[in-house]
C-alpha cells in the first residue's frame, strides 16, 4: 500500500494506529521527509501489513 493512496483525512487515523506522530505522517505524505527513520518506516510497514491482511487485498507497496 502506498501512503499517498489514502485521503488527507485518513492521516490522523494512520498516525494513531501506527503510533507514528501525526506530524511525521503528514510530512511523509507530502514528501517533506527525505530520509525517514527506520523505526518510522517499520511502524508504517507493520500497520499497512495488518491493514492489508484485514482487507484481503493484494497491495504490497508502502
> How many whole angstroms separate alpha carbon 37 and alpha carbon 35?
7
Taking residues 33-51, report their average pLDDT: 94
Query: Does residue 61 form part of some domain?
Result: no
Query: Does residue 60 form part of some domain?
Result: no
Per-residue pLDDT band for 7 (boundaries 50, 70, 90) equals very high
> How many whole angstroms separate alpha carbon 22 and alpha carbon 11?
7
- Asked if the model's pLDDT at residue 62 lies above 80, the reply is no
Query: Does residue 62 form part of some domain?
Result: no
Number of domains making up the chain: 1
Query: Does residue 49 form part of some domain?
Result: yes
Query: Does residue 20 form part of some domain?
Result: yes
- Average predicted confidence (pLDDT) for the chain: 88
pTM to 2 decimal places: 0.80
Q: Domain range holding 8?
A: 3-55
Taking residues 49-60, report their average pLDDT: 74
- Taking a C-beta distance cutoff of 8 angstroms, is the pair 41, 30 a contact? no
Query: Does residue 34 form part of some domain?
Result: yes
- Asked if the model's pLDDT at residue 40 lies above 70, the reply is yes
Amino acid at each position: 500500500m502506498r501512503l499517498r493512496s489514502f485521503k488527507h483525512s485518513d492521516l490522523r487515523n494512520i498516525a494513531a494506529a501506527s503510533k507514528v506522530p501525526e506530524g511525521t505522517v503528514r510530512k511523509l505524505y507530502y514528501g517533506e521527509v527525505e530520509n525517514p527513520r527506520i523505526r518510522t518506516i517499520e511502524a508504517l510497514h507493520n500497520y499497512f501489513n495488518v491493514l492489508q491482511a484485514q482487507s484481503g487485498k493484494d497491495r504490497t507497496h508502502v
